[in-house]
Amino acid sequence: MANQEVYMDIPALLTMAKNFDQRGQTLQRVAKTLEDLSNVLKGTAFMGLVGGMALARVIDFVRPFVERTAEKYVEISSDLTTSVRAYEAGDEQGATRFY
């Protein structure tokens, strides 16, 4: 068992990294849209539409979760790409980040 080698499916990991990055970028756009929507709803509250303020509070509660998830997705993408590059370069310590 000590002689067992670990192999990495590089194309699959690069595809995963790309997918995580795309999802992270999408969530960043969603967070920006939620921020804009919240600002519009807060503006309507000053015109007497109190329901808009309630909805803005819900959006303001959800948005940080979306932002943190987006950051994590982009971070995972970077980690996967870095791990693949380290594996390709023969850096055993860098290539073993995920196991």
Give 3-41 pLDDT, tens digit per residue. 677 778 899 999 999 999 999 999 999 999 999 999 998
Task: Report the candidate in 35, 57, 33 with the shortest Cα–Cα distance to residue 45.
Answer: 57
Task: Report the candidate in 76, 69, 85 with the shortest Cα–Cα distance to residue 18.
Answer: 76
Return d(Cα 70, Cα 94) in angstroms, integer.
24
The amino acid present at 26, given as its one-letter code, is T
Token pair for 47: 């015109």
Return d(Cα 70, Cα 59) in angstroms, integer.
16
Q: 10-85: what CATH class?
A: mainly alpha
Question: Per residue in 61-97, pLDDT tens?
Answer: 999 999 999 999 999 999 999 888 888 887 666 555 5
